[in-house]
Amino acid sequence: MTAETIRILVDADGCPVKQEVFKVAERYGLTTVLVANHWLNAPAGPKIERVVVEEGLDRADDWIAAEAGPDDVVVTADVPLADRCVKAGARVVAPTGRAFTESSIGSDLAMRNLMTGLRETGQIRGGGRPFTKADRSRFLQALDQAVQALRRRST
Per-residue pLDDT tens for 67-112?
999 999 999 999 999 999 999 999 999 999 999 998 777 676 766 6
What is the assigned CATH class of domain 3-150?
A: alpha beta
Question: How would you label 52-88 residue by residue, b for 16+ Cβ within 10 Å and e otherwise?
Answer: bbeeeeeebbebbbebbeebbbbbbbbbbbbbbbbeb
Q: What ranges do the domains of the chain cover?
A: 3-150
C-beta of residue 133 within 8 angstroms of C-beta of residue 92: no
Confidence of residue 23 (pLDDT cuts 50, 70, 90): very high
Answer whether residue 51 shows pLDDT above 70: yes
The predicted structure's pLDDT at residue 57: 79
Confidence of residue 114 (pLDDT cuts 50, 70, 90): low
The predicted structure's pLDDT at residue 108: 67
Answer whether residue 29 shows pLDDT above 70: yes
Q: In angstroms, rounded to a whole number, what is the distance separating the alpha carbons of residues 103 and 116?
A: 22
Answer whether residue 3 shows pLDDT above 70: no
Backbone angles phi, psi at 92, to 5 degrees: -130, 130
User: Which residue would you say has higher pLDDT here, 129 or 58?
Assistant: 58
Worst-scoring range by mean pLDDT, 3-12, 124-133, 143-152? 124-133
The predicted structure's pLDDT at residue 148: 96
Answer whether residue 30 shows pLDDT above 80: yes
Three-class DSSP category at 100 = strand
The predicted structure's pLDDT at residue 112: 62
